[in-house]
Amino acid sequence: MLVSPPATSPAQQAAFGRPARVDGSFAGDRPTPPPPPVPPPPPEAVLRAFAPPVAAARGLQEPPGGRPGRRRTATGPWWKADARADPWRDPHAPAGLTGPAVFEEDEQSGPIVVDPKGRKRLRLRDLSIRLSVLVVLAVLLIGALGGAAGYLLTRTADESPLLAPGTQLNESEEGVAREPGSVSDIAERVTPAVVSVEVRLGEAGATGSGVVIDGANGYIVTNNHVISGADGVEGAEIRAVFFDGSGSAARIVGRDPASDVAVLKVEKPALLTAALGDSGDVVVGDPVVAIGSPLGLASTVTSGIVSALDRPVRLSGEGSDTNAVISAVQTDAPINPGNSGGALVNGAGEVIGINTAIASLGGGSVGLGFAIPIDTVRDIAEQLISTGRAVHAALGVNARSVTDSARDGALVVNVEPGSAAAEAGIREQDVIIAVDGDAVGSSEELVVAVDAHEPGETISVELVRNGSSQTVEAVLDEA
């Protein structure tokens, strides 16, 4: 169903309707609308600030043709003859940078001024020279008065006397506890059984150490190289100096160059006897203490550990007939010249070796010392005390150490006629590589292996000849 639009009111028809007799949208003869009202002129201050130059005077927001009847403005500082060159007025003037704005503060007079926080300050540059001099003089005067007062007070004070009769210093009531087995405990027990051995040959002399092995009979064990220079020499003197500082002449009971062991005897009763241990119980890493007279310093104690066992060491020295190879106990306890013949002691206070040598490039201790095992010392000392001499087994060969990069051994240089080696068929140029199944890697190890047996014992010797290995039996002789 069609609905007709609502009828328009006369006002709407007048406002929006098409005039009569007009076919198009607009009529060419429409009445001209009234002109808009003319705005009032701008204030005088705005005109002075923003009006254009007089030569091209136009009103503010005026059309290009200008406003008829130009209005004259009042003369002011902005309308001078150089207004076109004024950078504040000329829009085409170049821009430039200047320094910062500086505001001068009011200068305050007088030495006392007020800072920006309102606090009063003394300005030294405003003080007069006379006032400055007076201040300095006052400071100096005060310092002089203080020093004089201090001096007078110290001079007039009573001084305490230098001496104070009857003074007793404090003393601790509790003693220091030393655990059994400590170095101090071992030194306290063993040091009285270690002596210094002094050897005099005319104007020359030497020192070493010794250990009391039989206090009841005055027997002392030491190294052969310590006393060998005095044996059989007229006027030579050997003296043993004990822990308490007393001394006694000593006689040679016997000495053994093949083991570097010697025994002395002194006529002094009630000597403390050292406890002798067992070399077989010693293991690498055991703590040890070396006691002796290194560099002539009696009763010196050093400590360390057992760093190796069964170390073959050749012993020989100038001025001595010692020519021995020992299976040594190696230690890092510092040992120096003069320690020779002294005791190497374990943690139980037992002597496990007699210090005899050091390994050094310059003659000083470098942490490698060697001691004769106490089992060897005991055996040799018992023989010397009993008979005055010691017996050793001998194979009857001279050898030197060799290696072929695969196996080490002892090369036989010569064979003594009629010796145990000759009877066993050992020849020159044979290389001995084992004794009784124990490997032999050097001439020193061969000597140690043979010396571990008694004369008359039979040993098996493995050797290499012409590139083939064979084993022979040898009955050891007496050296």
Give the residue numbers marked as catalytic.
225, 260, 340
CB 259 within 8 A of CB 324: yes
Q: How many CA atoms lie within 13 A of 113 on its CB side?
A: 14
Cα 375 from Cα 309, distance rounded (Å): 13
Backbone phi and psi for residue 115, each to the nearest 5 degrees, phi listed first:
-80, 175
Amino acid at site 432: I
CB 410 within 8 A of CB 443: yes
Instruction: Give the residue from 438, 200, 437, 419 showing the smallest Cα distance to 310.
Output: 438
Sign of CA dihedral 415, 419, 420, 425: positive
Residue 97's alpha-carbon distances to 94, 101, 162, 345, in angstroms, are 10, 12, 84, 96
Cα 192 from Cα 211, distance rounded (Å): 9
- Runs of H (alpha helix) within 201-332: 224-227
Residue 417's alpha-carbon distances to 147, 227, 440, in angstroms, are 103, 34, 23
Q: Which residues contact 189 (CB under 8 A, 6 or more apart)?
A: 349
When computed from its CA atoms, the radius of gyration of the chain, rounded to whole angstroms, is 61
What residues pair up with 325 in beta bridges, in sequence order? 314
Instruction: Give the residue from 438, 436, 416, 437 showing the smallest Cα distance to 427.
Output: 416
Cα 106 from Cα 117, distance rounded (Å): 15
